[in-house]
Chain A
Amino acid sequence: MKKLILLVVMGVLFTGTLMAQKTVSGTISSADGDPLIGVNILEKGTTNGTITDIDGNYSITVADDATLVMTYTGYEQTEIDVANASSFNFVMSEGTTLDEVVVTALGIERSEKSLPYSVTQLGGEQTAIAKEVNVGNALAGKIAGVNIQRPVSGIGGSTRIVIRGNSNINGNNQPLIVVDGVPINNQNLGSAGMWGGQDWGDGLSSINADDIESYSVLKGNTAGALYGYRADNGVILITTKKGSKRKGIGVEFNSNYQLETLINNYDWQQEYGHGNRGMAPIDQAESLANGLNSWGGALNGGNVLQFDGVSRPYSAVGDNLNRFYRTGSGFTNSLSFSGGGDHHNYRFSVTSLDANGINPNSGLNKKTLSTNTTGSYGKWRASISGSFIVDDTRNRPNLSDAPGNANYVVGVLPANINVLDLQGDPNKLGSNPDGTEMIMNGNVFITNPYWSEYQFEKNNERNRLYGNVAVGYEIIDGLLLQGKIGMDRFNERRRNLTPYGTGYSPFGQLSEGNRTVREINLETTLRYVKDISSTVGLDLMVGGNQQKNQDENLGAGGNNFNVPYLHAINNLSNQSISYGFSQYQVNSLFGQAQISLMDQLYVTATGRQDWFSQLTDPNGGDSENSVFYSSIGLAYDLAGANLNLPSWLDLGKLRASYATVGGATDPAQLTLNYGIFDQGHLGNPLGGISSGAVPPAGLVPSTNKELEIGADIRLFRGKANLDVAWYNRTTVDGILRANIDPTSGYGQKIVNVGEIANRGVEMLLDLAPVQKQNFSWNIGLNFSHNNNEVVSLLTPESDGEQIRLEEARTRNAFIHLVEGMPYSQVMGFVYLKDDNGNLILDDTGLPQADTLRAFGTGVHPTALGINNTLRFGDLSLSFLIDMKFGAKIYNSTNAYGYFYGLHQNTLEGRTSGLGEVAAGDIQDYYQRIGFGISEEHIQDADFAKLREVILAYNVPASVMDRLPIYRASLSFAARNLAVLWKKTDNIDPESTYTTGNGQGLEMFGVPITRSYGLNLNVKF
């Protein structure tokens, strides 16, 4: 293969002829004389291009007889022959065109009409004005076919992005993230599970929105085919901002301030107070024992001794959430310097983000330094882009299970307990006078919320450097050789402290971790672009990539601080260390060929061979460690065809493609491994099996095949644009850590199994009903429906055909993959009923559980986003409505609401009993349902939300002229402003606490919030 590349290089090297060069310059303006900024100018048939500056000026060095192609959103594509002159000024006319340039795989810019697949481009401002700390969350509802799930994990949390449905059984289902042509690491650094935990963020959470020029979302396999095994979940290409040719240095300042307030979804009963069996507590001990039981007497205003021995009125105290949580805030300031000349351009930026979560004492501080600099010197091209990011997150909130989780306690406080009474010592919140945790209920594992927030430490700091250096050389006209080195390296320093004096750990625990994750990509490409005749154009590319990943983790921890409250690792009585190391490498060769005929029919084919170290037998045995992936696509531009199109149909493109891509797996899992554990016992080393999963006999990479058919149609003189895509994707041989029966000795087994199908449609409809000089109205509508089916799981077929992805803390609801059903089934136990549907009660009159049943998928199959933009002169208003349908969620909050007697439904029978159950024992009835019968708590997770509202004002030029400012705009932005409808009670339907594959469980995450902010942008 190496030789082949050399042959291609040399073959192409000696066939071209050198041409004379000249520089062409001029100004481009609109019909009404305004300069057009950022017009894309491309030397036809090459990759040589530039864009106009703020005065509409451009300058480009081209061949003597070149043709320039000018493209600009909303304007007709224009071509001019510059053979006879060196200066061209011209006017572009508004109109509809398909000829926008989009960023495709490996960062290659291609004209949209030539693409045989759908790509959605989104401007960076879409995530920069209405900000989210994790840029991924700000994309929610904006791209058809892209499902974004924001977990309720508080400040600095991660996001789950799934494009065109889940296709991997339990590997990664999130897209590859590529910044300026180089993949970055987007792994989740840890999330909560049934036993609690925190969300430690992901790769996207450190990306800076203010540096992003655009997103290009490659949804289908063909679009990502050049990424081979990394493309099976789609690809999001992020292009960072560049400088452009201008006089002097351009300075841009952006300031964004946001406030975040919680939405209280709890609708608990306010009629009965804490206590047991219908009685209010009669003393402190009883009060403490029933600290969270709302099974007491009717609230009557009398005095009752509470957990701390203080007598307080037995009456409802109102909204505890707003007492406990605070208003969150985010303050982002960025400053950039950019500029450029004929041969180079540059941009440097510095951004600072200071954010406070709504959980007291939680916050995040992020500083980013970025650059993107390119140069073009004769035949040489060079570029460097990258970012250095330091983010520091304090007190990531605990989620799910009770220990250390403030959200749990605040969520289930009885109506008559005021959360402020749990504050304890004002100088050390949540503590007794002796400095230990002030416990407010009988179970020490349910932590005082102030102690959780103020005394625990759950911090991490990441130092991250990612970027790339590329050098290109134009060997002959149209033939460009490029080498690129990309790196993403971050170091995470983590500290997780359970302080001395905590109820469930009186002497405390501490873990400190230091993790370094690194990915390096070395990529070489050779691209040749040539119109070989007036009707046939060629665009050929071959290349290779070497990817190396390493992950090293050194941890120290232990329990029992010797000196009270001295929370240092060296003060631990029991200390332990841990060390982990993993590495893998993937080598690839790839190529792409595009042939255009008559500028009308485009055929694109790609191929890629990947070699995986992860699939190479470490003992040197035979192993299938290599796979070939390919794609073929066809695009047909109706515009050039001599078809008798009706007058309302302006333009159209039809496209079809088929591709295979794949997915890989983790390293070092092909053999059974033995480890040495801890530090021995009485001098004897401890050793045993360290593999938790049964290693596979043989493993092949998964394969993902997709057929995509689509059309892009412009109607009614540009007033309506419709882009539709239909796809049918099948993933086979998924590499699965299948949960097997733990009585086999192993929790899991690594196998190649199964088939998952995703079939769906995506539709983008842009409408421009009104386009007047001072008023315009645009409607953007995106719709997607994905039909997911787990076609088969285990091979050979075995009983059950179910795989468990997640389990609820109540241990009676699960997320399974079930053969023949969509991904992520929410499973629950149903009531035991007779043939007539009546409950069969047990001897004591309590309902009973029957079998475990699937209730539906936890992933919304259908989504609709509607964005309206209204522009009145310099003022514009846009609002986005985001709707999702068809998913279920297990409402653990309600299960606890039943258990603790908070749910409104538990009021029935409190005074007169229910059937055989006496009023005093009514808690037995509801507690049985709470933790025994999950059917009661599985609900529809459909919703419609007013996701985003932006009101922007561009300060008019007439004002600017009098100021030393070039441009200024002020925007008001709000996110998650309102839930228009939902079907869940006591929770928001988007309340999942994890970004893992098992979606559909909820339990005591951070309350959902809405945010409002102002964004000021000034350019000098």
Chain B
Amino acid sequence: MKNKILKLGVLLLMVMFTQTSCDNGFAELNQDPTKASTINPNFQFTWTQLRTSGGRYENWRAGLIYSSMMIQHMAATCGYWTGDKYTFNGSYSSSLFDRAYTEQVKDIQDLVNTLETVEGSDQTMLGMAKIWRVVIFHRLTDLYGDIPYSEAGKGVLEGIDRPKYDSQESIYMDMLNELEAGIALLGNGGFGGADLIYAGDAEAWKRFGHSLMLRLAMRLSEADPSTAQSWASKAINGGLMASNADDAFIQHTNGPASINNNGFGEVLDKASGFGDDCPRLSATIVDWMTATGDPRLNVIGELPEDGSGVHNGMPNGLDEVTILENANGTTPQAFSRINPELVRVSSPMFFMTYAESELLVAEAAMRGWGGGDAADHYANGVRAAMHVYSHYDATFDIDDASIDDYLAANPFDSADGMRQIGWQYWAVTLLNEYEAYANYRRTGYPDLTPINYPGNISNGQIPVRLAYPGNAAGFDAFDAALSAQGMGNDPIGWMTVPVWWDK
């Protein structure tokens, strides 16, 4: 009998063992022990700034392979450097669009929302976040035209799965308002050292915000001159970047992870294991700098490997076959690379410089939109552009005497001022390729000679935008954007349709 009771007891225990409760402890089990449910705004701002600087993926494709080639900062013979010859590669073209929304827009929208909705949030942080949001979006719309903006990045915040595409015009109007609103919020507080650009300096952010406002205003010079003029004046009156110390850039480091690296460095820094050796400086920039006696040539260029001892720019539009008949060099080794020290994984990544700001003021002055004397601002701009390279390495700085000589040899001529400003703007935006490409499309300067390579998609003209990802085709929001901009279904045709501000 005892034995039986024992057995029964064991059996009952077995039953109870497996069925202690039906869902006890399940809530705890369903919490990811490696993740948090809220985040410190400082961490998120640093993260978003770094991701806006970007990774190898889009800096390589949209930045170097398309933008830098099309505007003839650089040239390449390799077939997959499609921007050199205006041939089509959909995924290269759409690469910034593909990455920016999930890597930049998502977190900046979340951060702005947090700072707007959580009571007692730091308003200076909010102002900086709003300005940074404009940095992200204006690059996107400049490259791609109409884009998701007002509803973008709100998959969680507002449950929007398929954001509508806003017209570039409406995006620009809103971005300008946002800049004004963001600047107005700047005061005490801020992100401090978590701000990788100005270490939390609100005054510097105000100047950056106004210079950015000027950039956006001038972008509208052809499409909507009166709006452009009024915002340009507002920006100039608000106080612009005042010296090279105001240059907006993020300092990258050698590691330890890819996120810490400069995206261009991750393509071109051979010392760090990145092996794309296709690009060389374009003949357009080398020849121009040579002709004008530009002291920057020795900073931006590395002498050709073939030992010729003189800088030699590669003409755009050559391939591995046609280079063989090229008079100035039949192998890539005959041409100057960009100075490897500018494209290290630890190099700074530039968003805007004092030089650009001054050149924009010069242009505004030329147009009679205020700002003072165009020649003075032009000179300031050129002078500042020569000093930009000190951010890479103090030894790269151009001394004032050389700058004086250069300015004396290449004096500002108001009759040719727009053209001069355009070339200088183009020169200082080397390695800020998205901006260089946008300003070129607006002003038509520098006056580049397009190449006409067999199989190009733009009939021998420099493409006027990058193509969207094809994978949104068939969805109403996207199809509506195509038709609103007069674009057909075939992505190959998209790059020849100008964006709204490009009149």
Query: Is A848 part of the binding interface, using a Cβ–Cβ cutoff of 8 Å?
Result: yes
Q: Is the CB of A688 within 8 A of B26?
A: no
Q: Is the CB of A620 within 8 A of B27?
A: yes
Q: A205-213, A754-762, A806-814, A860-868: which one contacts chain B?
A: A806-814
Q: Is the CB of B155 within 8 A of A694?
A: yes
CB distance from B428 to the nearest CB of A (A): 25
Query: Is A684 part of the binding interface, using a Cβ–Cβ cutoff of 8 Å?
Result: yes
Q: Mark A578-608, 1 if CB is under 8 A from B, else 0.
A: 0111111101010000000000000000000
Q: Which residues of B133-161 have CB atoms within 8 Å of chain A's CB atoms? A: 147-148, 151-156, 159-161
Q: Is the CB of A443 within 8 A of B78?
A: yes
Query: Is A614 part of the binding interface, using a Cβ–Cβ cutoff of 8 Å?
Result: yes
Chain A residues within 8 Å of B159, by CB = 694
Query: Is B270 part of the binding interface, using a Cβ–Cβ cutoff of 8 Å?
Result: yes
Cβ 8 A contact of A684, one of B12, B196, B320: B196
For the complex, what is the distance from the CA of A466 to the CA of B362, rounded to whole Å? 76
Query: Is A671 part of the binding interface, using a Cβ–Cβ cutoff of 8 Å?
Result: yes
Cβ 8 A contact of B155, one of A286, A667, A740: A740
Q: Is the CB of B32 within 8 A of A582?
A: yes
Cβ 8 A contact of B492, one of A507, A575, A849: A849
* Among A560, A609, A688, residue most surrounded by chain B Cβ atoms (within 10 Å): A688
Closest B residue to A802 by beta carbon equals: B474
Q: Is the CB of B106 within 8 A of A689?
A: yes
Q: A153-161, A276-284, A348-356, A902-910: which one contacts chain B?
A: A276-284
Cβ 8 A contact of A546, one of B18, B196, B473: B18
Known contacts A559-B273, A852-B473; is-contact A745 B156 (Cβ 8 Å): yes
Chain B residues within 8 Å of A442, by CB = 78-79, 320
Chain B residues within 8 Å of A580, by CB = 34
Q: Mark A1-45, 1 if CB is under 8 A from B, else 0.
A: 110011001000100000000000000000000000000000000
Query: Is B392 part of the binding interface, using a Cβ–Cβ cutoff of 8 Å?
Result: no
For the complex, what is the distance from the CA of A811 to the CA of B22, rounded to whole Å? 48
Q: Is the CB of B30 within 8 A of A579?
A: no
Chain A residues within 8 Å of B419, by CB = none
Q: Is the CB of A506 within 8 A of B156?
A: no
Q: Is the CB of B476 within 8 A of A579?
A: no
Q: Work out how many contacts link A and B, with CB atoms closer than 8 A.
A: 324
Closest B residue to A508 by beta carbon equals: B273
Q: Count contacts on A: residues with CB < 8 A to the other chain.
A: 126
For the complex, what is the distance from the CA of A812 to the CA of B90, rounded to whole Å? 9
Closest B residue to A809 by beta carbon equals: B91
Query: Is A89 part of the binding interface, using a Cβ–Cβ cutoff of 8 Å?
Result: no
Q: Count contacts on B: residues with CB < 8 A to the other chain.
A: 102
For the complex, what is the distance from the CA of A684 to the CA of B199, rounded to whole Å? 11
Known contacts A546-B19, A687-B44; is-contact A616 B26 (Cβ 8 Å): yes
Q: Which residues of A375-404 have CB atoms within 8 Å of chain B's CB atoms? A: none
Cβ 8 A contact of B28, one of A507, A612, A618: A618
Chain A residues within 8 Å of B492, by CB = 842, 848-849, 932
For the complex, what is the distance from the CA of A279 to the CA of B320, rounded to whole Å? 13
Cβ 8 A contact of A667, one of B29, B43, B160: B29
Closest A residue to B45 by beta carbon equals: A684
Chain A residues within 8 Å of B38, by CB = 674
Known contacts A506-B273, A927-B455; is-contact A285 B35 (Cβ 8 Å): no
Q: Is the CB of B15 within 8 A of A677?
A: no
Closest B residue to A743 by beta carbon equals: B148
Q: B122-130, B253-261, B352-360, B438-446: which one contacts chain A?
A: B253-261
Closest A residue to B111 by beta carbon equals: A688
Cβ 8 A contact of A506, one of B11, B27, B275, B477: B275
Q: Is the CB of B152 within 8 A of A745?
A: yes
Chain B residues within 8 Å of A523, by CB = 18
For the complex, what is the distance from the CA of A583 to the CA of B30, rounded to whole Å? 7
Q: B97-105, B178-186, B238-246, B373-381: which one contacts chain A?
A: B97-105
Query: Is B1 part of the binding interface, using a Cβ–Cβ cutoff of 8 Å?
Result: no
Q: Is the CB of A814 within 8 A of B476?
A: no
Q: Is the CB of A686 within 8 A of B43?
A: yes
For the complex, what is the distance from the CA of A473 to the CA of B19, rounded to whole Å? 19
For the complex, what is the distance from the CA of A581 to the CA of B274, rounded to whole Å? 32
Chain B residues within 8 Å of A678, by CB = 256-257, 259-260
Q: Which residues of A712-746 have CB atoms within 8 Å of chain B's CB atoms? A: 738, 740-746
Chain A residues within 8 Å of B119, by CB = none
Closest A residue to B14 by beta carbon equals: A483
Q: Is the CB of B477 within 8 A of A744?
A: no
Q: Is the CB of A289 within 8 A of B79?
A: yes
Query: Is B117 part of the binding interface, using a Cβ–Cβ cutoff of 8 Å?
Result: no
Q: Is the CB of A524 within 8 A of B256?
A: no
Chain A residues within 8 Å of B471, by CB = 804, 807, 811, 814
CB distance from B175 to the nearest CB of A (A): 17
Query: Is B40 part of the binding interface, using a Cβ–Cβ cutoff of 8 Å?
Result: yes
Query: Is B368 part of the binding interface, using a Cβ–Cβ cutoff of 8 Å?
Result: no
Q: Is the CB of A811 within 8 A of B470?
A: yes
For the complex, what is the distance from the CA of A67 to the CA of B18, rounded to whole Å? 35
Cβ 8 A contact of A587, one of B11, B22, B193: B22
Known contacts A668-B30, A677-B259; is-contact A745 B101 (Cβ 8 Å): yes
Q: Is the CB of A694 within 8 A of B156?
A: yes
Cβ 8 A contact of A688, one of B8, B44, B258, B491: B44
Chain B residues within 8 Å of A802, by CB = 474
CB distance from B28 to the nearest CB of A (A): 7
Q: B46-54, B228-236, B403-411: which one contacts chain A?
A: B46-54
For the complex, what is the distance from the CA of A285 to the CA of B14, rounded to whole Å? 76
Q: Is the CB of A742 within 8 A of B257?
A: no
Cβ 8 A contact of B23, one of A2, A283, A625, A799: A625
Query: Is B16 part of the binding interface, using a Cβ–Cβ cutoff of 8 Å?
Result: yes
Chain A residues within 8 Å of B339, by CB = none
Q: Is the CB of A743 within 8 A of B152?
A: yes
Chain B residues within 8 Å of A741, by CB = 148, 161-163, 472, 475, 477
For the complex, what is the distance from the CA of A957 to the CA of B253, rounded to whole Å? 79
Chain B residues within 8 Å of A506, by CB = 270, 273-275
Query: Is B290 part of the binding interface, using a Cβ–Cβ cutoff of 8 Å?
Result: no
Chain B residues within 8 Å of A679, by CB = 256-257, 260
Cβ 8 A contact of A585, one of B19, B26, B491: B26
Query: Is B307 part of the binding interface, using a Cβ–Cβ cutoff of 8 Å?
Result: no
CB distance from B119 to the nearest CB of A (A): 20
Query: Is B272 part of the binding interface, using a Cβ–Cβ cutoff of 8 Å?
Result: yes
Q: Mark A474-486, 1 if CB is under 8 A from B, else 0.
A: 0100000101000
Q: Is the CB of A1 within 8 A of B102?
A: no
Closest B residue to A679 by beta carbon equals: B256
Query: Is B110 part of the binding interface, using a Cβ–Cβ cutoff of 8 Å?
Result: yes
Query: Is A843 part of the binding interface, using a Cβ–Cβ cutoff of 8 Å?
Result: yes
Known contacts A524-B15, A681-B260; is-contact A743 B43 (Cβ 8 Å): no
CB distance from A1016 to the nearest CB of B (A): 45
Closest B residue to A625 by beta carbon equals: B23
Query: Is B189 part of the binding interface, using a Cβ–Cβ cutoff of 8 Å?
Result: no
For the complex, what is the distance from the CA of A288 to the CA of B25, rounded to whole Å? 63
Closest A residue to B109 by beta carbon equals: A745
Known contacts A743-B153, A744-B160; is-contact A614 B30 (Cβ 8 Å): yes
Q: Is the CB of A285 within 8 A of B331?
A: yes
Query: Is B33 part of the binding interface, using a Cβ–Cβ cutoff of 8 Å?
Result: yes
For the complex, what is the distance from the CA of A504 to the CA of B29, rounded to whole Å? 43
Q: Is the CB of A616 within 8 A of B29?
A: yes
For the complex, what is the distance from the CA of A679 to the CA of B256, rounded to whole Å? 7
Q: Is the CB of B46 within 8 A of A611?
A: no
Q: Is the CB of B47 within 8 A of A688?
A: yes
Chain B residues in contact with chain A, CB under 8 A?
Answer: 7-8, 11-12, 14-23, 25-40, 42-44, 46-48, 50, 77-80, 90-91, 98, 101-102, 105-107, 109-110, 147-148, 151-156, 159-163, 193-194, 196, 251, 253-260, 270, 272-276, 319-321, 324, 331, 454-455, 459, 470-477, 489-492
Q: Which 10 A-B pairs have the closest CB atoms?
A: A687-B43, A745-B106, A507-B273, A289-B320, A744-B155, A745-B153, A673-B35, A668-B32, A616-B26, A799-B476
Chosen A-B contacts, 11 in total, with CB atoms closer than 8 Å, are A1-B22, A6-B12, A559-B273, A581-B32, A585-B26, A614-B30, A678-B259, A682-B253, A743-B163, A744-B148, A850-B490
| Extra pairs beyond A290-B320, A483-B15, A678-B259 (8, CB < 8 Å) | A13-B8, A289-B321, A668-B31, A744-B160, A799-B476, A800-B474, A811-B91, A848-B490
